[in-house]
Structure formats: structure tokens, C-alpha cells
């Protein structure tokens, strides 16, 4: 038996002054708290870690403050293309989607692909067709559009550059979302969801839906969800790197997570952070960016913070 524990993140990067203002900050903290409360409540009632993390991420996708689902950033074409993945540490099953448009909850689609298809990863139009066949809820572009993200995009449009959604100093809406959990049976799971990076090329896929890069879970080691500049996380295979350090190098969760971010990712020139949990309920949340949105809940501790 393990003590159920759940962790969430809401992105990493610079924390703009506007967010540090108490009333705005409270909105983020409350949103992360709702996700934790709901996910933890399920774990306490016997739900699996997988069910808990999918619920936590769905709640954050539905909250327009975060760059996932509603509130996703704009691509270079002024559209929204979302990526998401889930992984079950019990059997190493995984599901992922990339570049999907109009789907209200990409994390649920990733979960469905894992459970009801012979595939792990569907992208673009075929992922949307699959969602239609499985009667997923679609929303019009206006649902995903937020004034803030539109302004953010206008500033980068034409620059030929893409930007982490939280790297401009007047942001008041933040990042990619993710959750990791351990349930009472000691099973681990992870879910990650994102709109990607502002002004990203059409078809650009980040680390979040790539198993091993931004998302990974294995009961033998840990569950990991990453956030930051995806290209570096892909090159460093960062989520799997944490697991490997534990499996082959016998590092503790904390050592493994710390090295993956502050050694491996940093040496590549990458910025970001991750959340991780092991079967004993230990958690790690390192980051090398200026800040990170994160929180956790178990029977001993609950907190949400913007550092
Ligand atoms: N990792 C995400 C990506 O590169 C962005 C983020 O974490 O904010 O798509």
C-alpha cells in the first residue's frame, strides 16, 4: 500500500510582475488547488493514478489561465494546435496526440487512444477523425481564443521566432500543464497537455506528447511531466533520463530529477522544469528557469506555489 499523492504544474519560465500581484496570483493558485483537490479526492476514493492525473489536467485545460485546452497559445498561422500525452506506469501503456485542433480536452483523447486503439500516437487530422469517431467534444476556434494570447501572438508575429508562452514580461496567463500521481496500490501515472509555444510553426511538435521527452511513467522508477522549451527536452530525452538515472544508476528521485534539469538540460542550453513522483510518494520539482507554477497534495501536505 502507498500513500496517494498528486502533483501538478502550470508551466515554467519568467514570472511576470503582473502575476506576482496578489489577486492575479491567487487565481493561479486556486486553479491548481482545484485540480489537486479533485485528483486527490479521486485517489482517496480508490481511483487509479491514471484517472487522477487525467482529471487534474482536464481541469487545468478547462481553465483559460493556462496554455492547454482553452487558453492555448497561437501558432504562426494564428491558430491553436494542441499536444497531450498520458502514460500508465503499471504496464508502460501510453497515448498521445499532437497538433490537434478544436478538441476540448486533448488529454482525454490521448487517454482514449491509449485505452481503445492499437496506437500510441496520432497527429493532426487523423487524431481529429479518431476523436469524431469516438464522439469527443469539439469546440469552435472562439472557445480557445483569449485576448491575452492574441496580443501575445501579435507581438511575436512576423519575427520568425517562437516564444515560450511565459517569457514576455507582461504576461498574465501561463503555461503548459501536467500532473503526476501515485495511487494507493503504488501505481504511477502522468499526463501532460499544452498549446506549445507562441508563434510556433504549423506542425511543430514539442516535448509534451513525446513519451520519454516531456512525459514518462514507470512503476519501477517514477512518473515525470516536463515544462519548458520543448526542443531541448526532446534532445535530452529528459523525462526518461530521470527514470534511467533511478533504474540503472540507482539514484534517488530527487537526485535523478535534479541532475536531469540542472545538469543534462542545462548543458544543452535548455530552460524549464519538471514534476516527478515515485512509488513511495517522494516528490521532486526542480527547475532552472526563473520560475515555476506547481503544487502537490497528500495526507500530510498540500501546497500550491509560484516561485
Ligand atoms: N514544453 C512545451 C513545448 O515546448 C512548452 C511549455 O512547457 O510551456 O511545447
Count CB-CB contacts under 10 A for residue 282: 15
pLDDT of residue 172: 40
Strand ranges, E, within 175-287 = 177-182, 188-194, 215-217, 223-228, 272-277, 283-284
Strands 121-123, 93-100: pairing is: parallel
Report the sign of the C-alpha dihedral through residues 287, 68, 81, 97, in that order: positive
Q: Per DSSP, what are the bridge partners of residue 52?
A: none
Q: Per DSSP, what are the bridge partners of residue 198?
A: 163
Strands 283-284, 223-228: pairing is: unpaired
Helix (H) or strand (E) holding 88: strand 82-88
CB-based contact 46:184 (threshold 8 Å): yes
In terms of C-beta density within 10 A (0-12 exposed, 13-18 middle, 19 or more buried), how is residue 297 classed?
A: buried
CB-based contact 67:165 (threshold 8 Å): yes
Q: Which of 3, 9, 90 is nearest to 276 (CA)?
A: 9
Just list the catalytic residues.
176
What's the gap in Å between 206 CA and the centre of ligand 1? 6
Q: Please give the chain's pLDDT, 307 residues, in tens.
A: 889 999 999 999 888 777 778 888 999 999 999 999 999 999 999 999 999 999 999 999 999 999 999 999 989 888 899 999 999 999 999 999 999 999 999 999 999 999 999 999 999 999 999 999 999 999 999 999 888 787 777 777 777 666 666 555 444 445 899 999 999 999 999 999 999 998 899 999 999 999 999 999 999 999 999 999 999 999 999 999 999 999 999 999 999 999 999 999 999 999 999 999 999 999 999 999 999 999 999 999 999 999 9
The verdict on the CB of residue 197 being under 6 Å from ligand 1 is yes
Tell me the domain boundaries of the chain: 5-305
Nearest atom in ligand 1 to the alpha carbon of residue 230 is 4
C-alpha distances (whole Å) from 5 to each of 8, 37, 53, 245 are: 11, 11, 10, 22
C-alpha distances (whole Å) from 230 to each of 139, 163, 203, 296 are: 26, 11, 14, 23
Residue 24 has which C-alpha cell?
A: 492575479
pLDDT of residue 21: 82
pLDDT of residue 278: 98
Contacts of 299 (CB under 8 A, 6+ apart): 3, 4
Which residue minimizes the CA distance to atom 4 of ligand 1?
A: 230
The verdict on the CB of residue 72 being under 6 Å from ligand 1 is no
Q: How far apart are CA 213 and CA 163, in angstroms?
A: 19
Collapsed DSSP state (helix, strand, coil) of residue 269 = coil
Residue 23 has which C-alpha cell?
A: 489577486
The verdict on the CB of residue 192 being under 6 Å from ligand 1 is no
Substitution candidate for ligand 1 out of 229, 288, 291 with most atoms within 8 A of CB: 229
pLDDT of residue 11: 95
pLDDT of residue 171: 45
Phi (first) and psi of residue 47, to 5 degrees = -65, 160
Chain center to CA of 279? 20
Helix (H) or strand (E) holding 260: none
What's the gap in Å between 182 CA and the centre of ligand 1? 24
C-alpha distances (whole Å) from 91 to each of 135, 144, 210 are: 27, 34, 17
Q: How far apart are CA 180 and CA 49, in angstroms?
A: 8
Residue 194 has which C-alpha cell?
A: 499544452
Side by side, which strands form the sheet with 121-123?
A: 121-123, 93-100, 82-88, 188-194, 177-182, 5-13, 291-297, 302-306
Assess if CATH 3.60.20.30 describes domain 5-305. yes
Amino acid at each position: 500500500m502507498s500513500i496517494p499523492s498528486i502533483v501538478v504544474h502550470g508551466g515554467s519560465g519568467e514570472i511576470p510582475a503582473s502575476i506576482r500581484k496578489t489577486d492575479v496570483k491567487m487565481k493561479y493558485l486556486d486553479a491548481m488547488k482545484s485540480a489537486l483537490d479533485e485528483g486527490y479526492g479521486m485517489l482517496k476514493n480508490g481511483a487509479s493514478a491514471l484517472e487522477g492525473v487525467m482529471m487534474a489536467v482536464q481541469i487545468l485545460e478547462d481553465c483559460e489561465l493556462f496554455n492547454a485546452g482553452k487558453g492555448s497559445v497561437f501558432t504562426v498561422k494564428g491558430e491553436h494546435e494542441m499536444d497531450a500525452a498520458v502514460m500508465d506506469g503499471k504496464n508502460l501503456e501510453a497515448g498521445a496526440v499532437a497538433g490537434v485542433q478544436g478538441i476540448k480536452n486533448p488529454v482525454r483523447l490521448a487517454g482514449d487512444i491509449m485505452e481503445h486503439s492499437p496506437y500510441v500516437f496520432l497527429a493532426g487530422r487523423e487524431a481529429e477523425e479518431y476523436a469524431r469517431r469516438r464522439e469527443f467534444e469539439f469546440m469552435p476556434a472562439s472557445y480557445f481564443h483569449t485576448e491575452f494570447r492574441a496580443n501575445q501572438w501579435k507581438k511575436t508575429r512576423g519575427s520568425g521566432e517562437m516564444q515560450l508562452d511565459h517569457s514576455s514580461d507582461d504576461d498574465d496567463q501561463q503555461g503548459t500543464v501536467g500532473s503526476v500521481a501515485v495511487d494507493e496500490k503504488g501505481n504511477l501515472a502522468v499526463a501532460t497537455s499544452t498549446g506549445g509555444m507562441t508563434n510556433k510553426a504549423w506542425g511543430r511538435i514539442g516535448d509534451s506528447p513525446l513519451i520519454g521527452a516531456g512525459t514518462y511513467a514507470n512503476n519501477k522508477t517514477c512518473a515525470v511531466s516536463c515544462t519548458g522549451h520543448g526542443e531541448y527536452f526532446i534532445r535530452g530525452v529528459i523525462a526518461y533520463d530521470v527514470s534511467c538515472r533511478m533504474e540503472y544508476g540507482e539514484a534517488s528521485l530527487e537526485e535523478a530529477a535534479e541532475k536531469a534539469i540542472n545538469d543534462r538540460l542545462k548543458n544543452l542550453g535548455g530552460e524549464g522544469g519538471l514534476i516527478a513522483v515515485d512509488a513511495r510518494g517522494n516528490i521532486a520539482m526542480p527547475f532552472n528557469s526563473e520560475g515555476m507554477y506547481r503544487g502537490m497534495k497528500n495526507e500530510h501536505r498540500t501546497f500550491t506555489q509560484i516561485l
